[in-house]
Amino acid sequence: LGQDFKALQPSEYLVRTVPFDEIEHVVDAVLPTAEQASRLHMEPAQPCLLLTRRTWTRGVPVTLVRCLHPATRYHLGSRYRSDGNAVST
């Protein structure tokens, strides 16, 4: 409770103190709520991509993050070499 998150972001604090051994990313197509659309400066009828990220340490949940992106302003993709390593672009 005494952690100062102005000096160290919560995500960085967790990675430093509770490293995860499992991660999950799920992307869903959704419509925003009226408030979300307003905050994202978009029409409520326009679709969004919802990225849900969860991490675990030894089977215990550590983080849950939900990121909402207007679909027209987002590009999702990845590129890997045959050895499984990501390609730098």
If DSSP codes are grouped into helix, strand and coil, which group holds residue 9?
coil
User: Distance between CA atoms of 2 and 41, rounded to whole angstroms?
Assistant: 36
pTM given for the model: 0.71
pLDDT for residue 29? 95
User: Distance between CA atoms of 53 and 25, rounded to whole angstroms?
Assistant: 5
pLDDT for residue 54? 93
pLDDT for residue 89? 61
pLDDT digits (tens, 9 = 90+) for 23-79: 899 999 999 999 999 999 999 999 999 999 999 988 999 889 999 999 999 887 877
Cβ atoms of 34 and 25 within 8 Å: the answer is no
